[in-house]
Amino acid sequence: MAARRAVGAALRAHDEEAEREARRRVQTTKVALGERGTPWWHQTDTERRARWLAGLAALDGEWGQE
């Protein structure tokens, strides 16, 4: 939700660079959760866990930067 809130804040501020970054974070999160890309139910437990960990690694250090 933090990334989605960041999209809204960037839109209100008319900050295109911040909007792009926030949308990238939304995309990363949705892929990690299986909402985009290969559906989570088509993956093994190991594949799902690997996707979650990759998503967390990609977002690591971004928490609290809003």
pLDDT for res 64: 47
Q: How many domains does the chain divide into?
A: 1
**Residue 9 counted as domain residue:** yes
Report if residue 65 sits inside a domain: no
Query: The whole model's pTM is what?
Result: 0.77
Model pLDDT, residue 66 = 44
**pLDDT tens across the length of the chain (66 residues):** 889 999 999 999 999 999 999 999 999 999 998 899 998 899 999 999 999 999 999 988 665 444
64 within some domain: no
For residue 40, the number of C-alpha atoms closer than 13 Å in the C-beta half-sphere is 12
In a domain, 46, yes or no: yes
Domain limits for position 54: 2-59
Tokens of 43: 């993956």
